[in-house]
Structure 1
Amino acid sequence: QRLYWLLRVILSLFIGVVIVAVQFTGDWETGWVRANTSYKSFSNAVVNADVGLHVGLGGINVTLVGNPVNQINETISYNEHFAWRFGENYDQAYRDSLEKGLPSPILYVAEKFTQQSPCSVHNQYRISGHYASATMWVAFCAWLISNMLFSMPVLVYGGYMSLVTGIFMIFSLLSFSTIGNSPLCTIQFGPVSLHTVYGASFWLTLATSLLCFLIGGVVVVLHYLRPRVLRAFFDLSEDEEAAQEPTAGGLSQPHHKGGESVWPREVPTGAFLGSAPSAEPGPAL
């Protein structure tokens, strides 16, 4: 029973942590390229560096790492975040980067996602990320409800809510996948171009949703085919589950040990008539 309890806790915590964590990661879509590129505007300096693009639900991260890191008397190691969540101004963050004089490769990649860019992908990335995050929060609420149901002797409904959790996670993946309907403009660095693919957070969310489907499906199937195995796994005795099952009339029947009735076997007649029991005369002296 301790091993079963530990397995239930680990699986539940894993699902909950994944649902929350992937909303703040930046690798739902990722790509990188190694190229010789100009370092800054109005400069002839050329560096060999790895340029990376990491797309999350709330924005992008653009990385620039020199190969080697120390070139032209500078340390080339940048990781800049540009947010597009509701309440954030992506274009303003891009203008601030221009004023700071960030390297040209970072500004070139970030410019592709501005509202004035000919690529016209800013709104789609922003809206898709917003709805993907919203459905993930709904999945988190369904996960909380499933845990509460699993802690009570209504295991089959906990299995149903696990299925609902997986369904909303799939909805989140579908929302983010709609970005692929309008491909990003080519990000070209000389003879090579930067292409993106689905990242670790996307595949981790997909694997977690399949795990929710597996858990929910197994619980529902065992509930109808092998209920004793299901009760044993959740450390639930038959009396606890039977106490929650309604009768045909909609009321729960009292359960007691040994099959004995809880009603008194003999009831004085006077108890229903409101009269006191008569006292028998004592023995004569």
Structure 2
Amino acid sequence: MSFDTFRQDGLPTYYNPNQTPVTEDVLVVGFVFAFVIIAFSFFILIPGIKGWQRFFFFCRVTISLFIGASVTLSNFGQSWEISFISNVTTAYRAGRSGDMQADIGVNIGLRAVNITLKGVPEFQDGDSAAAGERVNYNERFHLGGSQGRTGFGRYAGRINRDFREAQYRGLPYPILWIAEYFVLDGEDIRWGRSYRLAGFYAALLIWLSFPLWLLTNILLTMGTLSEGFSMLLLTGGCMLGANIMYASIRYGSQLFIPFSAHHILYFSYGWSFYLCLVAGLVAVILAIGCHVLHIFFPGELEEFFGLKEEFNQNDLEFHVRPRSAKTLKENTVKRLDNNIIVKRSRRTRRMTVFRATARPHDKVAWE
């Protein structure tokens, strides 16, 4: 008898559809979570670092991960331009007479347009055009790919095909009304084309800044500071170039979508645009500042990046190879591993351990 639960007339079990709206961008949340894990993995090493190097290590990791996270989030973020209006009186969908109250929002990214429609209240009552329904939509229309042919056929652009699919699905009028502004491509109405080109070139520059950021970390870890600062300058320059390219190609400041005399969607830059701008400025300022410090204060800068180790003669004595040290003649100097120098004195018959602060091909500077 337990197998007959939720079954009627011997048919398979039927469950009601569980339609839930999209509340967060899963891809963006995943990237944030990934960088938080990386940061936590580095921060747990801080207690094992001595002295001021603990603070220096924290600064290096924080700044580097901030720039890397900004590159990734600005590339995949959906808020390069945003607009929002509340308590709009609008029609609902085909076959429904009357109006409804709703909040409408638009988020424009580099590759897609997100349109949000949420009823006020979310579960509509009997006086609304959406009576008895839950109004909470979040639809994405993709801008990627080529412009395509005019129309909605198989060779049309991606957003045209998404728009026709939305019409077949019977999405509410406010969503189709907004999406239509990005679909039209004729006369002087070419907002979709301008946003597609702006997002394409901005995304190229941001993608270029990602390997440059990786090279920056590799070069700074290897100790080649000048080359690392140059890569950091290029990273920030590409991010600022993405902002300039996006702001110059698209003409979104002219775009406004009216719903009534008092409810008009005006667009402004979102957090993705400003995150890319701030991270680019930080990278450029740090690169220029570090170049100047490397010229006037090279020793202090090497200490900040953990390239200058503290000298302890007692510790260096353990690095001396006994067999090599015994073969030393009186008043002779021999360079061993790790830039260690051993000198045997004629008077005391004892060996003294030194460390050369200069490069191997330079004159030896004794400490």
Identify the residue that residue 250 of structure 1 maps to in structure 2: none
What are the superposed Cα offsets for residues 29-50 of structure 1, whole Å, 9 maximum, x if unpaired?
Answer: 0001121111113422311111
Identify the residue that residue 190 of structure 1 maps to in structure 2: 260
Deviation at 1:259, TM superposition (A): 7.6
**Identity across the alignment (%):** 32
Deviation at 1:255, TM superposition (A): 5.5
Equivalent-residue separation in structure 2 for 1:103 and 1:164 (angstroms): 46
1:48–1:66 Cα contact (<8 Å) kept:
yes
Q: Could you tell me which of 280, 288, 313 is aligned with 1:209?
A: 280
Equivalent-residue separation in structure 2 for 1:226 and 1:188 (angstroms): 59
1:151 aligns to what SS in structure 2? helix
1:99 maps to 2:151 = no
What are the superposed Cα offsets for residues 73-109 of structure 1, whole Å, 9 maximum, x if unpaired?
Answer: 1111110000011267110100000010001000000
Identify the residue that residue 11 of structure 1 maps to in structure 2: 63
Identify the residue that residue 291 of structure 2 maps to in structure 1: 220
1:28–1:198 Cα contact (<8 Å) kept:
yes
Identify the residue that residue 85 of structure 1 maps to in structure 2: 144
Written as runs of structure 1 = structure 2, the 5 A alignment for 1:61-72 is 61-71=114-124, 72=131
Bigger shift: residues 201-210 or 181-190: 181-190
Identify the residue that residue 267 of structure 1 maps to in structure 2: none
Written as runs of structure 1 = structure 2, the 5 A alignment for 1:43-192 is 43-71=96-124, 72-86=131-145, 89-116=158-185, 119-181=189-251, 183-191=253-261, 192=263
Identify the residue that residue 2 of structure 1 maps to in structure 2: 54
Deviation at 1:128, TM superposition (A): 1.0
2:182 aligns to what SS in structure 1? coil
2:222 aligns to what SS in structure 1? coil
Equivalent-residue separation in structure 1 for 2:340 and 2:184 (angstroms): 71
Structure 1: which 5+ residue stretches go unaligned? 240-253, 263-285
Written as runs of structure 1 = structure 2, the 5 A alignment for 1:197-276 is 197-237=268-308, 256-257=340-341, 258=354
1:128–1:175 Cα contact (<8 Å) kept:
yes
Give me the TM-score of the superposition, normalised by structure 2. 0.63
Deviation at 1:238, TM superposition (A): 7.4
2:202–2:245 Cα contact (<8 Å) kept:
yes
Deviation at 1:235, TM superposition (A): 1.1
Equivalent-residue separation in structure 2 for 1:29 and 1:259 (angstroms): 58
Would you say how many aligned residue pairs link Structure 1 and Structure 2? Answer: 247
What are the superposed Cα offsets for residues 209-255 of structure 1, whole Å, 9 maximum, x if unpaired?
Answer: 1110122122111101111110110111279xxxxxxxxxxxxxx95
Indicate the structure whose relative CO is greater, using CA pairs within 8 Å and at least 6 residues apart.
Answer: 1
